[in-house]
Chain A
Amino acid sequence: MTYVTADPKGVDAGPHFLDGDHALAEGALAAGCRFFAGYPITPSTETAERFAERAPEVGALFIQMEDELASIAALVGAAWGGQKVMTVTSGPGFSLMMENIGLAVMTETPMVIANVQRGGPSTGLPTLTAQQDMMQVRFGSHGDYNIIALSPDSPQECFDLAVEAFNLSEFYRVPVFIMTDETVGHMHEKVVIPPADQIQVVERNNYSGPKEDCRPYNFNRQGGNPMVRAGDGYRFHITGLTHNEKGYPAMTPEQNVKVLTHLMEKIDGNAEHIIRLEESEVEDADVVVMSYGITSRIAIRAVQDARKLGLKVGALRLITVWPFCEKRVRELAPRVKAMIMVEINYGQMVRELERVVAGRCKVVSVNHCGGAVHDPQVILEAIKEAAQ
């Protein structure tokens, strides 16, 4: 990835006291996002409101669309129009976006989608926290596909990961998701926005070569392929149909293999470059406590308490949730007694953990449905039991 420094226009440098939702908007603006289409839904609305408020002074465009179907569709158009684009939503709105997430994946359109998760199913718990869309983000649209999902555990990280999400999205030409939650979204903390010259951003890479060589697609299973911007004279075509490198429909089983393998492998094949984890005291651990988002902040407390009791416990936080850290889990599984997944759902990422562990150590799920964060005591008890 090639970086440049951020456009100062979008960077409100300095210390702030922000909630996670507002920090997402600031991160997007700092990353160079100049187009936001959204539809209000608790607990994500504050991101849209912040962007709408800041848009005029930054020279960005905010539009409140008629629904989430329209919001994400507008992002597809705006991205090919040359802008960096974002939307934000929660549960029901996320469900409405699914079809065009598939369009964005298929047309390899960069965009950032934040899901400030609330309890479901259906209208569920509009104002209460959850981590129940972790499988939906990976598999919710139809067909086989791949995406990147990040999970911040603080307002500061909402800012930082928004910038990173844009960078990954631009490079891999894939929708990147910020899977945050109501607690982080509404929690106010200190957020330090660095000066523009200390923020590294990946610019839109627009094709500028000869017209006859212009191809919107290159199925080379890598990131870094250029986009084509509408209006630059290349007369490109893109479609959600299975297509060839020119973007024209090519609906054969062979072409589908080519396109799909590329879509899967540009992410999975580069997982080691994409994945970010935060580990503490994992090296000598008998038990590893895995978590992400707000849950990590409670899990770390339980891990510290367990250490005080003399238990050999480590914490592993998924900053990147998708692609899942298969390699790291494969390294750890044979060395530890147990791995614990802590999450606010009926047990979602734990399935992925079980799949990768494949019986090489015990896997424990410390989960509960949406509405509240964990009690650290519950995690501590699970650690004690797993350590035996």
Chain B
Amino acid sequence: MSCNDNSACGGCNARPDVLPNTHPHKDESLLRMERMPHIWCPGCGIGSVVTAFTEAVKRSGLDMDKVAVVSGIGCTGRVAGYVNFDSIHTTHGRAIPVATGLHLANPDLKVVVFSGDGDLTGIGGNHFIHAARRNMNLTVICVNNFTYGMTGGQVTPTTPGGANASTTPYGNYEYPFSLPFLADAAGATFIARWTSLHSRNITQSIEEALKHPGFSFVEVITPCTTLYLRRNRLGDGVDTLQYYQDNSILKHGADTRDTAIDFQGKMVVGKFVEKIKPTYLDAVNATCAKLIGDDYQLYGKTPPEKDAEKKAAEEKAAAEAAGATAGGAT
């Protein structure tokens, strides 16, 4: 299906050659079509990340009823409202702690956080490093457009030095975060970075991230056409994709200390970290099992388990009764 809304959304027709299947309207089943048209600008990179995500969920083989999406506030924060999963649109910066609560309360779920660069690493930065430190079993996808999109293009913790933002009108003089390095230092066990040009790689990385036990982080550098590109005179979305093509350096396993991004400079992309260590919940369960015994179970037995147990007990009692009758007859 091609998009039938009139929201001036150019995603379908922009460059089918560079944007294969990246338009969010193309994948109906995992989107809330009743909520279309979406709010994103023509050429905005968020939609392509959403498409990669829904594709990755399908490929992952996860039970879609057990996938939940949590987002904070911002243009990226609106993702939770468009995807057809259990979804929570929270407050600015708090997606990770809400997701933490959801995951810990209901460990059967695969909880995914969609967050903008400002949401995740500015106001919510503390939660990001602590969830990574705990190896909380969450998948965090960051749409990094180097700007506060929703509030009109202010500087963020990832805005490259020298870039123009509405609150750094004479150029950004702060040192930006490199998110893979930050995540690595904090303890994340899966880290990948791509640009929105790399739709297949994003899909692949998100699929791996979804299957990864522990804190998995996928950063996607994306164009904010309306604000960041315009203010910095970087052309349109297609020009940006060309920039991504020309300046991405694929380096799986790169040392995350070497992943800084200068203004319009080279960008190291790839899967940088993948390692296994006990998740937060693994550690809780191990500690409690040592204390309580091997049959320890968080929140006790689930209703189906209880039912199964009851049935087994009844069957056993019935069998014993039958045995007793048979015994009595001899």
Contacts and interface: CB of A to CB of B under 8 A. Distances in A.
A231 interface: yes
B84 A235 contact: yes
A220 to B, nearest CB: 23
A172 interface: no
A60 interface: yes
Contact of A57 (B68, B90, B94, B292): B292
A233 B67 CA distance: 10
B202 to A, nearest CB: 23
A100 interface: yes
Contacts, number: 153
Nearest to A81: B105
B298 interface: yes
B300 A9 contact: yes
B101 A35 contact: yes
A223 to B, nearest CB: 22
Interface string B98-113: 1111111110110000
A59 B297 contact: yes
Contact of A231 (B32, B93, B108): B108
Interface stretch (A67-75, A266-274, A343-351, A357-365): A67-75
A52 to B, nearest CB: 11
B91 A230 contact: no
B80 to A, nearest CB: 7
A73 B101 contact: yes
A66 interface: yes
Interface in A52-82: 56-57, 59-61, 63, 65-67, 69-71, 73-82
Contacts of A37: 97, 101
Interface string A96-139: 00011011000100000000000000000000000000000000
A interface, how many residues as a size bin? 35 or more
A53 to B, nearest CB: 11
A241 to B, nearest CB: 7
A381 interface: no
B211 interface: no
A236 interface: yes
A233 B298 CA distance: 22
B105 A240 contact: no
A76 B101 CA distance: 7
Nearest to B292: A56
Contacts of B126: 66-67, 70
B72 to A, nearest CB: 10
A307 interface: no
A239 interface: yes
B317 interface: no
Interface string A209-245: 0000000000000000000011111111111110000
Contacts of B91: 73, 99-100, 102-103, 240
A54 B97 CA distance: 23
Contacts of B174: none
Contacts of B94: 69-70, 73, 100, 103
Nearest to A57: B292
Contact of B127 (A66, A107, A229, A241): A66
Interface in A136-195: none
B275 interface: no
Contacts of B130: 65-66, 70
A201 B103 CA distance: 25
Interface string B25-41: 00000001001000000
Interface in B43-94: 65-66, 68, 70, 80-81, 84-91, 93-94
Most buried by B among A65, A79, A83, A230: A230
B81 A249 contact: yes
Nearest to B134: A63
A188 B190 CA distance: 49
A107 B105 CA distance: 18
Contact of B97 (A9, A57, A74, A240): A74
Given A59-B300, A103-B94, A230-B102, 17 more contacts: A35-B105, A57-B291, A61-B299, A65-B100, A66-B126, A67-B126, A74-B97, A81-B106, A82-B106, A100-B94, A230-B109, A231-B65, A231-B108, A236-B86, A237-B88, A237-B89, A239-B80
Interface of A: 9, 34-35, 37, 56-57, 59-61, 63, 65-67, 69-71, 73-83, 85, 99-100, 102-103, 107, 229-241, 248-249
Which are the 4 A-B pairs with shortest beta-carbon distances? Answer: A77-B101, A81-B105, A74-B101, A77-B102
26 contacts: A35-B105, A37-B101, A56-B291, A56-B292, A59-B297, A61-B284, A66-B127, A70-B126, A73-B90, A77-B88, A77-B100, A77-B102, A77-B105, A78-B101, A78-B105, A79-B101, A80-B102, A81-B101, A81-B104, A100-B90, A102-B91, A107-B88, A234-B86, A235-B65, A238-B89, A239-B80
Interface of B: 32, 35, 65-66, 68, 70, 80-81, 84-91, 93-94, 96-106, 108-109, 126-127, 130, 284, 287-288, 291-292, 296-300
